[in-house]
Structure formats: C-alpha cells, structure tokens
Chain A
Amino acid sequence: MKLYEMTLAELQALLAKGEVTAREVTEAFVRRVEEVEGAIHALVTFTPELALSQAEEIDRRRRAGEPLSPLAGLPAVIKDNIVTQGIRTTCSSRILENFVPPYDATVVEKLKKAGLVLLGKANLDEFAMGSSVENSAFFKTLNPWDLSRVPGGSSGGSAAAMAAGEAAYTLGSDTGGSVRQPAALCGVVGMKPTYGRVSRYGLVAFASSLDQIGPITRDVRDNALVLGAIAGHDPRDSTAAPLEVPDYTTFLDGDIRGLRIGLPREYLAAGIEAPVRQAVEEAIRLLSDLGAEVEECSLPHTEYALSAYYIIAPAEASSNLARYDGVRYGLRVAGDDLISTYGQTRRQGFGAEVKRRVMLGTYALSSGYYDAYYLKAQKVRTLIRQDFDRALARYDVLLTPTTPTTAFKVGEKVDDPLTMYMSDVCTVPINLAGVPALSIPGGFHQGLPIGIQFIGRPFAEGLLYRVAYAFEQSTAFHKQRPPL
C-alpha cells in the first residue's frame, strides 16, 4: 500500500517505529499532489517547501527524544477560508486573491503545536457559499471518483484532496453542510462538531451562528484524532464552549449494544434517490445486527429548515461580508469617491452567488423587514431545535442520508440555485440546531460514494464516533480508493 493511501493511525505507527521519516512521508504526499492535482484541482496554494521543512523539524525533534503528538509530521491540507499566517488565504474570492494573513487561526496554532506539516490550502465555493465548488472564483475542483462530477461543497477542495490522497488529513468548515456533503460525495469521513466545540477564531466568517470547522479524513479513528487536536475553549472566540475535550479515541470500542437509533421519517421522504435510500436501509440492518435498536421518529419542522436557513445564513453573511470594502486589505477598485470605491470594489471582487446572498441578507435585515424576516426565521429555528431536543431525548443518535443523491455532474445544477440548495436538505437543519453530525461512507452506486449521517446530542461527538466506528468496522467502504 502506498503511503498516501494509508490512514493517519497507520502512518503514525510507521513514524513511531522509525520505519519511515516525516520527511519521507511528506515527500510521498508531495509527489502524489504533483501526480493528481492536474486532474482534480483541489488546491489554491501548494506549499511543498514549507511542508518539507516542517517535516524535517519534526524528524529532528523525534530523534532528540521529544514527545510528539500522533499528528506530528503528517501532511495536512486546510480549507482556504481558515487563515494561515504568512500564507495566502483567499476564500476562493477575487476580493482576497492576494491577502496574506498576519495571524494563524486558533485551529492552525493548535495543529502547529501538534507538529503540523502544511501541504496546501484547499479550494472552496467563494466564501463557503455553495455546494459544489463551482462558485470558486478561480477554478473548479473535480471529484476524484469521476472527473466529470463535482466533489460537493463548499469544502470540496478538502474532500477531494482527502479522497485522492493528497494529504493525510484535511480541515473543512460547515455552515449548512459544507463538511458533510462533500465528505459524502467523495467517500470520506466528515464531522461537523457541536456549535462552539471548535474555535472560530481565524475562520473567515460566513454565518456566525452556524459556522464550525471540522475534520475531513480517511476514517473514523483519524477524524477522532484530528477533532481532539483542534477542539477546545478559546478566549479569542466568545462563542467557543468552555468545556473539556475528551479523548475521542476512547469511544472507538465497537460496542453499540442497546444503542437507540432514531430514523427521522422526514429525511427519507421523496427526493432521496433510490440507491441512497437503499444504503440507509442496509445500514439499519447492519446496526441492528450489531445490537442497536432502530426506530422511526419524526422531526416535524424539517420542511421549514431550508427556508429558515436561506433567510438566516445570508442575513448573517451580509453583515460579515461588509468588511470587504477595499480599505484595509483585499482588492480595491478606485471609484470617484469613497462610496463608489466600495461599490466598485465589491462589484468586481465578489462573484454572483456571493452578491446574491449579500443582497438577500441585506434585504432581510433592512428596516421594516427585520422583524418579519430575520426574527421570524429565528423563531422557526427554535422550533427546529426543539424537534432535535425531543428526538435526542428519546434516542441516542439519529440516522439519515447525508445527501439526496450521489455526486452530480459539473454544470448540472449551477444555473438553478434552487436545485443546488436542495442538496443541503439533510444537512442544514443540523446547523440551525447547533448539534453535531458526522457523515461516513455508507456504500457506492455505479462507482460513486454514498454518505450516511449520524446526528447526536450537543457535545456528544464521542458517541457519534462510537456508532460510526462500529458501523465502519463492519464494512469495507472506507477502504476503497478512487481509480486515480
């Protein structure tokens, strides 16, 4: 097996035994990027020299007998809306095309302490707004399982890089499904933690009450390792929860006897394609065989979630994106006066989807409409949250498909924003409720990955990893690699 096909845990074992150096591992991933990047275009910025020098430093520390984290020396790719000091961070937008952050995101600082080897920054839909990376201002990323199809989005670059073996692990961000949906379409594992589990300091804000950073990895164990390294309180993020971070790997014992799994019927309604439905049904059988009790339940306000999200997220985005005005950083297009400088800068700097959401959000928050639109949507959000609270009081976890379909073709949905939005129907309610959810490989259809989603109680990521691991270890989906 090639080094770039291995899991974090497998690579870490080789490093610990001294069978391979971090430099050799990094070289293998660098070569892999050189081999496949031309086909998938997952990276906005590729930093091989930096990665090799970081790897050498880890090797030096290991030779000196220093204790090292399990992630030390293993190359990572980070979504390009997470700031990395001294390394261009663009959000795949023209307005930040040459922006070089003067600071690291908290998650980057934590990973550096754990021995980060940064291989590159991953492509995304501009400002994380989209479900296919077709909204990137620079180029499209393609699905390693079928190069005529999208990898999903907005963390499509991270998911494609992970699937293709361009990194040992990756980070994405999730506001309405942007970690889970691309993980599902690319056949890898993606976790959106509980809101507040991971610091948002240094994550370029899209919708502040919904955004979370999450790992996209080869398998469940790797995901648990990375989440453990990036989670935790942060005084620089006043929305980060002041809660201890458990060792998530201790939940990987494969025992789910007696676990109560709820199946919200609204998530298996019309619109879910037959092969996806089948994958969920097979998962139910397998989980029952492993001793879990699976029962249908209801989240009655599910049908309102997309509408609430498409008021709340753009509203928050319009406020967060007001900072891109050409004054202190980013693109500036000079106008006749200050106001027209703002107008022209944003006109040229933002892509169509970003402009659409900024306009929508501005309208929803404007005087005379705030109460009727934004406030009303936030009340509906409470009802959606209460649905989850009630269901998760009766059941330990909920099981749903991650997406209604497998990966769609490039260009298939980009002209109809409404159909594109529907690909988020199983993921969006989770962000509104703030609960954690994990997508793992649940099957294949005609060579394309299918993801299944487990949803848990707030701060119960450990339980999610337990059930996902038990399922994963009884299947071989996570062992498959794209024919690239």
Chain B
Amino acid sequence: MLASMPTCHREGKEVTFNEHVAPIVLRNCAVCHRPGEAGPFSLLTYADVRKRARQIARVTARRYMPPWLPAPGYGDFVGTRRLSDAEIALLQRWAEGGAPEGGPAHRPVPPSFPPGVWALGPPDLVLEMAEPYSLRAEGPDDFRNFVLPVPVTRTRYVRAIDILPGDKRIVHHANVLVDRTGASRRRDAQEPGPGFSGMDLLIESDRFEPHSHFLFWKPGTPPQVEGPGMAWAIEPGTDLVLNMHLFPSGKPKRVQAAVGLYFTDEAPSEHPMLIQLENDRALDIPPGVDDFVVTDDLPLPLDVDLLGVYPHAHYLGRDLRGFATLPDGQRRWLVWIKDWDLNWQGVFRYRTPLFLPRGTKLSMRYTYDNSAANLRNPHNPPRRVVAGNRSADEMAHLWVQLRPHGGPRSRLLLQEALMRHRLELYPTEYSSHFNLAAALQSLGRQEGAIAHYRQALEIEPGSSTARNALGTVYVEQHRLALARGEFQRVLEQEPDHVQARYNLARVWLARGDLRRAERELSVVLEHEPDDLESLYTLGSVLAREGRLAEAVVPYEHALRLAPEDADTHNTLGQIFAMQGQLRSAERHFASALRMDPGHDEAREGLARIRSRRAANR
C-alpha cells in the first residue's frame, strides 16, 4: 500500500501528519523515541514530530535513521527496520509542505508499549551491577565489561535474557558472555573501579561447551525468547559478563545495568552453536590504504540451519560481506553491509532458518578503509593498524549461529572442523589444540585427543587444565600409571586443583588402593564439602573397606544435597542392611522405589529385608 503512495500524492494532495506521517513514525521511530528509551527525544505526538520535521526529513533521506545496517535483498532478517523509498519521499514532502497536522478523521491511535521496564514482565532472576560505573562526560567511546555472578544453587535453563542497560541514551549496545571459568572475575580484580576495559571479550573455556546463543542488546530491539528446546543451561558458579559500548554524552553519567533471566523447566533438546569466521591475523593495514580486504572461508562438514549472524569490525571496517557457496557453486548471501558503522552493530536473525548442505563453504569478505578520507578513522594522520581489543585496533569477525543436523555428535564434528581450520591459520594456538583434543576425546578418538593435548602442553607446559584433561584420556584407556603421573604433576604445580585430585582418587580406587583414594577424597571435600561425586565416591570407598558406619556419613550428606536421588537411597539401604539395621534399610529401599519404581536392586533389597523380618518374627 505504501509503495503506491508516491503516485497518489505526487500532485496536489497534501501530505499530513495524521494521514501519512504518523503511521511511519509511530511504527518505525517511536519504539526508541519515547520516554525512558534510547532516542534522545520523543516522537509520539504531532507536536513532537512537527518540531523535528526538518531533521526527520534529513536523517531518513540519508538513511541514518532508523538505524539498520544490512542492505536489502541480502538476508531476510527479523525486525528489519528500514523505510521504503516511498515512505522517505512522504517524509520529505511533509516537511517541505510545512508539516501540517491534517484532519481529525485520520488521527492516529497512539502505539501501546508493554508497561514496566522489563519487556517480558518480571524476570525470574535479576542480576545487578554491585556498584555503578562512572562514565566520563567526554572523550572516546568506552568499552567496558562488568562481571555479574549468577546466584543459582542448581542448574537452571534460560529461555530468555533481557538487559536493562541503565540510561539507554549512553549505551550503543551490550553483549552478555557466559563465563564458567572465573577468568573474568580475576581480570576484574586487576583493574580499579567497577568492571574492566576492552572491546571484545574472549573467554577461554576448558570444556566443550560452546557459547551457543547470541545474548545481545541494542536499542529498540525486543529481547529474544528462545524457541522450544532452545534454552541454555546455567550452572552454579557461572558468571555473566556484560560487555557494554558506552558513549559519553557531555555530562558524567552513572551506569548501573541489570540483566534479567527467564527460566524454564524444559531442558534444552536443540543445541545451536556459535561459530566464528575470522582472520585477525591478516589484519595489518598500512596507513592510507582504503581497500584492504580480509577473508576467511570455512567448509561445513555437515548439514546445518543458519539462525543468525553478527558481523563485527571496528572503525576502519567499511564493507562487510558474508555469504555461503553451496556445493553446486550457487551463492547464498548471509549479509551485506555496505557502509559499516560500529555504533549500530547488531545481531541479525533470519526470519526463516537458512538451510546449508554439507560441503557448503561459509565465507566472509571484509574491506577496510585506513585512509584519512574515512571520517571514523581513529588515527589522524592514519597509522598502521593491526588486530586488537582496543577500539583503535581492528577486528575481522563474522559470528554465525547455526544448528547442525544430527545428534549431539554433529556438534563435535563441527567443532573438530572449526578447530582444524583454526589450526591451519594458527598452528601454535594453545586453545585450538586444546579444544580440538576435547572434541576428539568426546568423539571417542583417544589417540588424536592425546596428540593434541600434548601439543597444547608443548605450547603451555604449565597448563593444569590440559594436563588434567590428558590424564582423563589415559583413564579412559585404562593406562592408570600414565594417568596417575599427569594428575600428580598437576598437583605438584597446583595443589588446590580439585579436579586433578578427584581424578587421582579415582585412579587409586581403580587400582584397589582404597587408603590413598580415601585420603585424596578427604582433601577434595575439605575444599568442596558439597561435591556430590566426591561424596558418593568416598562413601563407596569406605563401604568397600568395610567401614560401614563411616560410609553412611557422606551418603547422608549427599542425600541432603540431592534428596531425590534413588541410587543414593538404594546404596544407603544396602549399607544399613549389611549392618543389620533393617528398619532404616527398608525405609531407604522404599524411598528409592518411590523415586524410581523401576529400580531393580532396590526392589530386590526391599524383598530380602521383608522376608528376613518375616523370618525373624
């Protein structure tokens, strides 16, 4: 309908606010331009809009507003905020015509927005910055990271996350990263004041748990609610790291952001992955060069659905392209941004997932302008620029969220392909060797895993994480002497490494050395008194030693932590039965059966007890 308007209105008929302009402005602008939102002024009423008529005409004609980077026709995205040429023409004509209001017949219905600060209603858990951060009045944009511990006592599944950045007018975007390692906490402690600086955050993880969702906020974009089965897990001890792009506004501001989490009881059944095309190594841009091209190509080892993209470069990026080349040579565009502007970066999600068959090549092709003609060039005169985390450095990243077809194994195969691709670019990168080894270990390819853990250790001989993991492969292979050697070496360099100590206890247990196993487990439990695995293992060690009364203690402790565990009840039933405490044994067997009616051992145990008690009568 709108597309036909220019012909209708070319001659004569007056363009009015009520009839023509309000529908455009209220649909496209008001989401941000209203009180409390990111827009610096409201565009809700005729008076609001008339006052800015000339400005609106100018900024829409230049497509500065509404901000939307992807070029039309190169990816079909959710929430596309782009005016048609016809709409822009109407806005021009209205401003030139004196911005009349028009008759009351067409008076627009004011848009309704969800009440309250949280678009999805009150969250199940709100995380707030412990103290506000002071943003200075002027100077370059500030890229700051704030660590938010997540106070959950059991694994929760997150179906949605919302970010309240505080004053939205000073926040260009915010990203949430999941840190299960504590690394960001340690970094935060090293820098004075709340948070730590840095534009891009990389969290090394010692587990194969790819950060699988885009957790991103930009002005005017509603929070993403994950579809069925697409929730993600958050465990006790996890930190969320809020990575914010703040811009000084002329007066000092206090930044106090909050993150809201919405839980579901439904465990994830789909496992999307975030993968990254990148070629930071190739970023070495001489001053004055205005067409420096960086590419990366990744062949897909299996069928995938593409869910979204997040292109990222800093101030020298100009033209950002992502595309896929299908096995038959056809090209499918993922995204094309022809005039990159860091300030309006975003995650772009496809309206319909894009199927890409195995053998497709994913590509990025980014062009950088390090000439003085690039207005945003952070250096004047231009200087050589290489990759880095500061905003005056550069980056060449294309994050892609995809869902591999096939079971959990397909994620591992994709991870393997990714890491092998990275190792072609960065043959001596510790994390890639480590991640590849972890994927191979999960795939059951132990020799490959050992080879890459060893290479990781050649690069970082002091890495307890890699050495402990190497030990676990040896355990899987029943090469217990080798395993013991690795765990002991970890403990020599890091006596508090609880995982290695627990693993060492398992080795002693497997070799029948119950004394040593018990000693190591006691040390583990001094550090982590509520560690369920250690409690179960210690209980079984003591039971095997015949110390039945002592064995009850860790099991009962475990039961207080996880009262619904049928196995623990069954084990306690067995122990009490051996001690002749038939009443307690019966109670635990019955509990085990109540929790798991198919628990055969418990049923047999209960039957035995009842026949013994019948015989005793």
Tell me if chain B binds chain A.
no
> Hey, which bits of chain B sit against chain A, CB under 8 A?
none
> Hey, which bits of chain A sit against chain B, CB under 8 A?
none
